[in-house]
Structures are given as structure tokens and as C-alpha cells.
Structure 1
């Protein structure tokens, strides 16, 4: 279930040079929907920590399947754990927030990814997803370009992701629409002990 790991592993040394920094203000808006204090944040498919490095938080963890990306994350002083987004190597209710930034379209079995995010979130925690809308003109161009270079990407509209978050037991909010959009899911339930 590792998706496009190979190309990203090879691309790791150049990633920070060619990718623009993540927009911290957009991430903070999503994190603000948490109904608990946000201290421990997990950046799933976070590569070199491009998104999580933009946030000043007590505990920042990157989970990625590409060894090259994990080395880059560690070089930035982040805790970096090898793992699959559909089977996170984290304990149940061990995170206050999960980020998936510009990476979900590379992850197969999106519903399993959301179920895992819901499992590791503490009650009141949030899943913040930043993605690209394939229904926009730029989105259609991105879909074509990713497939042209050989990525096995699958893109979703904001409303499609909100529906999938609800199916995973998270309370969804479409925070922002457009080519780059934000969907947030809040973990509100107490799990049976």
C-alpha cells in the first residue's frame, strides 16, 4: 500500500530545493478546529517534513515509506518513522493531530488511511488534509501531468474527501476550496475501552 514510494525515494535529495514551503497559515486554521490542546502532531506521507517544519509544536513526527525522505526529515531534526499510511506504526489515541499535505493522492486505499488517522487521534484531535481539486482547471492539468510522468495518483474533490472522513468516524469540515483545498476531520468520539 505504499503508492509512489520509489520515485519519491529517488527524488528525496532534491525535494526541498524544488518544492515550495507548505503554507503554515492554512495548516494552523485546520489545527484550530481541534477541541483539545495540540502538542503531538504526525505528518503522514510527510517526506522531509516540508509541512510540519512550518509549525512550532512541542512534538513533531514524520511517518513516510520512502527511506530517502526519512533521512531528509531526520536531517531537519525531526523524529522520522518508517511506515505505511494505511497501517500507521503508532499507538491508538497517541496523537493530537495528523497532517496529510499534498500527499494523499499518492496513497492507495484512502479509506484505510483515514481509518488509521482516526485510530491514532485522541478525542478532540484533528486530521488536516491539504490536497488538489481535480475538478478545477489547474487540477485537471495536475492529474494529466502526474499520470504522464508515471505516478499512480488518485485525486478527490473536497466533498468526496469530506464524505470519506465521515465514513471513518470523523466530523468533516471543508475549510477551503479551490485548486489547493483543505478538509479537516475532528475525532469526537470516545472509543470503547
Structure 2
């Protein structure tokens, strides 16, 4: 098990007390650009469910401690890694990844998996930190200091990675906290 997952298991009881809330407006703007109705929503790397609880998503996370927190919010949970999602192809309307993508192992594989489970017209919304900003460089240094095996992207790199797995990129906002969406094309329409 990666240190990142073990750390979040240990940190779970304090997580919601010390972490700032996510920007719900940016997440909702990302969901708004989907090309289909959104009833089946996953938050991958959703931890304690702080975002999932605001949009009615199922929390998918490898850290058992974080999932216990999410279940206390009466959220549906799935213990899984983003590298191997237990969902069938084309079965999910929306996927959220909020402040977590930099912790994912094999990020390319994770993006492929998320694109695989998205239904045509479905949306991937990634809210992440841009390493090219002043605050981003500080966050990169801080995560290395505590021993996380984090990999941060620039806006351009994240857009290119999302596009490379076959999703149509739809930027939502830029800055230290960026929100990039990708819509799975509807073929044969």
C-alpha cells in the first residue's frame, strides 16, 4: 500500500477539521457542461465525502479510514483504486476528482479507467493544483517534505492528458486551483 493511502487512513479522523472545503461552484460548473443527464456520479479519491455529499455522488477511495468517514455521512462507498475501477464500461454519467489527482498512482492508467467507465456524453471533472503557480510550487515542496509520492500537472499538461484518453476538453477555470473537464464523445449520433 502506498504511503499516501496509509497516511490518509491515519489522517481520516482529523481530515474534515483541517482541510478547507472544496470550491463547490467550480465542481458544479464542471458538471454543467456534460452532454447527458447526470444520475450516476462517482467521486474518485473522494475520501471523507466532503464533495460527494454536496452532489449526491458515490465515494470511491482506497483508504478504508476515509470511507468510514464517508459512510457516517450516509454516502454510498466503494473501496477501490482509480487504476482498477470495479464499474462496467459506459456505466457512469459523471466522475469527480477533487484535490486528489496528484495522489493517484499511474495517473495515465487512472485517466484511461475513468474514460472507460464514463457513458457517452458523460463528464470527468478534475479539480487540481497547477504546479506552475507560486502556490503550486510551494505545495509540491510541502508534499515532498511529508513524504507523499505526488505528481502535479500544469494546466496544459492536464488538458493534454485528458484529451489523450479520448475526452473532449472543456476548461472551467485556471489558476492555482484549476478545473478541467472532459466529455466522452457520443459516437454515431
The interval holding the TM-score normalised by the smaller chain is: over 0.9
Distance 2:34 2:70 in 1: 25
1:123 to partner: Cα distance: 0.5
| TM, length-normalised to structure 1 | 0.94
Q: Which residue of structure 1 aligns with residue 105 of structure 2?
A: 108
Q: Are 1:150 and 2:147 matched, yes or no?
A: yes
Contact 2:26-2:172 within 8 A present in 1 as well: no
Change (3 A) 1:26 1:3: farther
Change (3 A) 1:179 1:67: same
Contact 2:44-2:82 within 8 A present in 1 as well: yes
RMSD across aligned positions (CA): 1.4
Which residue, out of 169, 172, 177, partners 1:175? Answer: 172
Q: How does 1:116-155 map to 2 (within 5 A)?
A: 116-155=113-152
1:3 to partner: Cα distance: 6.5
| TM, length-normalised to structure 2 | 0.95
Q: Which residue of structure 1 aligns with residue 90 of structure 2?
A: 93
Which whole-Å deviations, capped at 9, do the CAs of 1:73-131 have from their partners, x for residues lacking one? 11101001100101111111111000000000001211111111111111100000000
1:174 to partner: Cα distance: 2.1
Q: Which residue of structure 1 aligns with residue 49 of structure 2?
A: 49
Change (3 A) 1:64 1:77: same
Structure 1 runs of 4+ aligned residues shifted over 2 Å read none
Q: Which residue of structure 2 aligns with residue 73 of structure 1?
A: 70
- Unaligned 5+ segments in structure 2 are none
